[in-house]
Structure 1
Amino acid sequence: MMRLYITTGSSIEVMQGTCDEALHDRIIWIDLHEPSPREVRFVEDMLQIDVPTRAEIVEIEASSRLYEETDAFFMTATMLCRADSESPELTPVTFILVGHRLVTLRYADPLPFRTAASQIHRNPLAWNSGEVVFVGLLEVIVDRLADILEAIGADLDAVSREVFTTDAKEAARRAKDYRQLLARVGRAGDMIGKSRESLVSLGRLVAFVTVAFKSKDRKSLQTRMKTVSRDVISLSDHASFLTNKVTFSLDAILGLVSIEQNGIIKIFSVAAVVFLPPTLVASIYGMNFEVMPELTLTYGYPMALGMMVLSAIMPYLYFKRKGWL
């Protein structure tokens, strides 16, 4: 699908599919979302460029993602999409700046593209060229990553409160939800990793396009690009902090699991020691020897039971006094 954003001076019209040649000069943004071969040919013929294939935009070499060709800048960044779902994923998005036009090539539907489209409709005068749309898209993408990292940080704070709670009821409930806590921490770690990968690719793209803007004397956009660059750096630092927090939370949860397991093993060990002496007494008097003096005693049976009870109580009292129970 192809969307054409065409400026009319005071507003911006959105058209799907191809358009008349008379409107070509007024197009500021061509959004290619899973385009057909016909749509790709339309863009190539109109702008005299070679649109990268899907196989080319997934390559990770910097030379394949950031390059200039016939006065057109080709830039591919990795974006995080479906972040609010159970299966977030990374997808490459290519930005092509050709004069005052922007071409975006994507095979997914990240939220920032919908956000940018709605902002264009609300304030069309602020999005009057392809360069402005490009910088605006980068700002929206960075804002989206900031929101994702903020949500991850809030969830990790909630996990920390649950893990380190001193309330007895909450601790008992927590002991039943270790698997859920581990799943939350694991998902947070996965999201942070994907966010950092996206930030790294955006950082490279911003550095590349900043140099390109300097060579093209686009000083009006350089300040906004510097702000985007600072935001990317600060978000990368925050992602590193959250990574350390994930590691700490994971170690804390695994430590609590070990403590719970040690407590269970201790209970079984104490129970085995407590019941071992009575078992020994019962085993002795369960022997089938002819000559056993206690067998002929009138109070032999109560005596044996008393010895069994006493041999069980004494270890229990000893453990209690030592504070092992």
Structure 2
Amino acid sequence: MIDCAVYRDGRREESGRTTGELQQALAGLGTDDFLWIGVNHPSTDEITRIGGVLGLHPLAIEDALESHQRPKIERYRDHLVVSMRMVSYRDDDITTHEINLYLGDHYLLTVRRGGPSLAGARRRAEGMIDTLAHGPTAALYVVVDAIVDHYEEVAVELEIDVQEVETSVFSPERTSDSTRIYRLKREALEFRRAVAPLREPVARFAATAEPAEVRLYFRDISDHLGRAAEAIDTVDHLLDNALTAHLAQLSVQQNEDMRKLTAGATIFAIPTAIAGIYGMNFEHMPELDWTYGYPLSLAFMGGLCLYVYRRFKRSGWL
């Protein structure tokens, strides 16, 4: 447990972190007060004890213990579970970390498994006293909003890298971009898995969240999720187009190489053919008696090769 505090009228009051102190804090909450608990990498025993104090459903506790949960919003009788993934992007690599948020009438529990700290989101919430006075749902909004806003930042960084790939693909220099394109497509898929499953449940929650004053905030989150999902779709389409263009460029380059090889082979075939005729060693060959036959034959071969070379050069084969 890395942080625990009681919020009365939107203002923080420190709270103890033992099981007994949590029970006392819950018992002393007023109608509009709530408890905000932050946990990182909890052990089975710790999350079980906290879940017992908060009255969490056994399946909700199981979600906190098992990694690789699909992003979702799950409703239980007296609490709500929001499973999300925090996303970070660096050097063409998407990294995701799971976070489970447990919302009750008088508490918000955040369970992280690594990833960026939520201390900044908590400080931001504590600066929004009027908003935080709406209860734990307002605190949930601040955390989810911080995670979703980072989705959009990652989407922008991904689009910048895709633009770099497009520039490289259409550059006059020969490049090998297929490996990076496939890697970016894989990372875009991982990003989609974090964002896409949340769109529908967040939209539903935005229509039913209590108190009604916070619904507008969750509609804003739903809109940001939609923008992030659209950005992922755009990146995926651009990568498909870049891969198609790259393969087409490779085909064009291979055709140019084959034309150059064919032209070169044709030029060298001319002296090879003439030399082959002279190498047949027939006795009755008039050219053999010519004093200048050898230099004339060399000059003829060179002139003919030069003529063919110029014709290929004009036609763009060389």
TM-score between the two structures when normalised by the length of structure 2: 0.83
Corresponding letter in the other structure for 2:248: G
Q: How far apart are the structure 2 equivalents of 1:58 and 1:265?
A: 50
Corresponding letter in the other structure for 1:119: R
Q: How far apart are the structure 1 equivalents of 2:55 and 2:185?
A: 43
1:136 aligns with 2:129: no
Q: Return 5+ residue gaps in structure 2 as ranges.
A: none
Query: 1:203 — aligned with what?
Result: 199
1:67-78 aligned within 5 A: 67-77=74-84
Q: How far apart are the structure 1 equivalents of 2:230 and 2:239?
A: 14
Query: 2:124 — aligned with what?
Result: 119
- Note the aligned Cα RMSD (angstroms): 2.9
Q: How far apart are the structure 2 equivalents of 1:94 and 1:123?
A: 23
After superposing the two structures, state which structure 1 stretch, 87-96 or 14-23, moved more.
Answer: 14-23
Check the 8 A contact 1:4/1:27 in 2, yes or no. Answer: no
Q: Secondary structure at the match of 2:89?
A: coil
Check the 8 A contact 2:68/2:98 in 1, yes or no. Answer: yes
| CA positional deviation for 1:149 | 1.1
| CA positional deviation for 1:187 | 3.9
Q: Secondary structure at the match of 1:82?
A: strand
| CA positional deviation for 1:118 | 4.1
Corresponding letter in the other structure for 1:143: D
1:302 aligns with 2:295: yes
Check the 8 A contact 1:18/1:42 in 2, yes or no. Answer: no
1:80-99 aligned within 5 A: 80-84=86-90, 87-99=93-105
Check the 8 A contact 1:32/1:104 in 2, yes or no. Answer: yes
**CA distance change for structure 1 residues 300 and 232 in 2, over 3 Å: closer, same or farther?**
same
Q: How far apart are the structure 2 equivalents of 1:130 and 1:74?
A: 13
Check the 8 A contact 1:80/1:88 in 2, yes or no. Answer: no
> Percent same amino acid at aligned positions?
22
Query: 1:293 — aligned with what?
Result: 286
Q: How far apart are the structure 2 equivalents of 1:257 and 1:13?
A: 65
Q: How far apart are the structure 1 equivalents of 2:89 and 2:34?
A: 31
**CA distance change for structure 1 residues 284 and 114 in 2, over 3 Å: closer, same or farther?**
farther
| CA positional deviation for 1:319 | 2.1
1:41-60 aligned within 5 A: 41-49=48-56, 50=58, 51-53=61-63, 56=66, 58-60=68-70
Q: Secondary structure at the match of 1:89?
A: strand
| CA positional deviation for 1:68 | 2.4
| CA positional deviation for 1:100 | 2.6
| CA positional deviation for 1:292 | 3.4
Match of 1:283 among 259, 276, 293: 276
Q: Secondary structure at the match of 1:298?
A: coil
Query: 2:4 — aligned with what?
Result: 4
Q: Return 5+ residue gaps in structure 1 as ranges.
A: 166-170
After superposing the two structures, state which structure 1 stretch, 269-278 or 119-128, moved more.
Answer: 119-128
Match of 2:182 among 186, 189, 192: 186
Query: 1:168 — aligned with what?
Result: none
Q: How far apart are the structure 1 equivalents of 2:195 and 2:92?
A: 21
1:270 aligns with 2:263: yes
Measured against aligned partners, the alpha-carbon deviations of 1:28-83 in whole angstroms (never above 9, x if no partner) come to 322222101332133122111131245656354x9xx4432231112323x24332
Count of aligned pairs? 307
Query: 1:23 — aligned with what?
Result: 25
Q: How far apart are the structure 1 equivalents of 2:123 and 2:282?
A: 95
Corresponding letter in the other structure for 1:159: V
Q: How far apart are the structure 2 equivalents of 1:16 and 1:90?
A: 31
1:241 aligns with 2:234: yes
| CA positional deviation for 1:10 | 6.8
TM-score between the two structures when normalised by the length of structure 1: 0.81
Check the 8 A contact 1:2/1:35 in 2, yes or no. Answer: no
| CA positional deviation for 1:206 | 0.7
Q: Secondary structure at the match of 1:70?
A: coil
Corresponding letter in the other structure for 1:209: F
